[in-house]
Chain A
């Protein structure tokens, strides 16, 4: 019974520990019964050849083990169309950003051909790496939605065709706006995480382009929180595209996300500046004195803070209106 024992163990290895012992015992007993019957029916002796013949007919261990396991889905089929749309957006944005980044870096080299080839090679490798990373992140997010989100609606709950009349115009989604929002959030994630140097001032100095980063270290301190909010926004917009209409739940999620955005903006405004106008750039290329450069720098930072403050105020008003409407309904 050498082959039967090996076969049973092989099937068992492909099963969860909790059911393994039981299935192995039943399989072993059945195969032995089958082997005895086969020997009787054919008038042959029970030998390794007969064992092999039986096992071949019974099916491969993979096939047999698979039949005991429930079908599991990492990502709900209901989310597939949205999942692939997000994947396409993310990979397209990555590819375009990589091409722009290559252009900028080659521009900085001023005709250095071997250097340019290295830049293209490195960028290609970087694209593969960031592509895999981005793909993995999207897959992970959709696994979490499938596992913990309420993807399957309670279809059995009472449904009334009159409910269709209750869908107000303001609850209807605008797919183009949502897709655009997903694209912009993705661009934000890709540029600030993979190509932050693109947010810089460039100056051509005798054929070579000098780069002066506009983002400060303080910005990168907030990047984790910005990433979380952008990913949540992508999830929110993806789920809205799937549902096709705003619900009470999605409105509450939207308001909560807006409040989180305002809170982060207020923290950013009150902390050290997240952007700067490089003083050396202003002195060397705009011909400013150090005092003037410093003054312009301060005005620039104040300007940025004012803009962020205005954005916070607009989002706050918008959120308050949405909250009031939701409360009234």
Chain B
């Protein structure tokens, strides 16, 4: 593994946790996968499609998201939304983020 790859992997690890946090926040209102990616992208958080959908699937399997299929613009789309268990997790993540942020800010 080259130095560049090591750095990229570390950055990716850091972003991975943040992605779940952001997803749960955004999915307070219903969104389908592609619109979710667009929202993330507009916020400046680029997530590959190939990573986003498996992540959504995992979160749903863990009981943190609910989903349903609807046909819109003649196209079937799967809409995701946070559920009660997801909201509980999100609150914990918000608290933890604030705590970590307070610690990290001391380094700067």
Contact = CB atoms under 8 A, between A and B. Distances in A.
Q: What DSSP secondary structure best describes chain A's contact surface?
A: helix
A30 B53 contact: yes
Given A25-B76, A25-B78, A30 B54 contact: no
B34 A59 contact: no
A67 B58 CA distance: 11
A34 B53 CA distance: 14
Interface string B55-76: 0010000000000010000011
A84 interface: no
Interface string B18-47: 000000000000001110000000000000
Interface string A259-294: 000000000000000000000000000000000000
Interface string A76-95: 00000000000000000000
Contacts of B87: none
A208 to B, nearest CB: 61
B71 to A, nearest CB: 10
Interface in A3-35: 19, 23, 25-27, 29-30, 32-34
Contact of B53 (A26, A32, A33, A63): A26
A29 B76 contact: yes
A119 to B, nearest CB: 48
B50 A34 contact: no
A68 interface: yes
Given A32-B75, A58-B49, A68 B34 contact: no
Interface residues of B, number: 15
A64 interface: yes
Contact of A26 (B33, B48, B50): B33
A29 B50 contact: no
Contacts of A63: 50
B105 interface: no
B27 to A, nearest CB: 15
Given A26-B78, A29-B76, A32-B75, A64 B34 contact: no
Given A33-B34, A34-B34, A27 B53 contact: yes
B50 A33 contact: no
Contacts of A34: 34, 49
A20 B77 CA distance: 16
Which 10 A-B residue pairings sit nearest by Cβ, starting from the closest? A33-B34, A67-B54, A68-B54, A30-B34, A64-B50, A59-B50, A26-B78, A67-B50, A29-B75, A30-B33
13 contacts: A23-B57, A26-B33, A29-B77, A29-B78, A30-B49, A30-B53, A34-B34, A58-B50, A59-B50, A63-B50, A64-B50, A68-B53, A68-B54
Given A19-B57, A67-B51, 11 more contacts: A25-B76, A25-B78, A26-B53, A29-B32, A29-B34, A29-B75, A29-B76, A30-B49, A67-B53, A68-B53, A68-B54
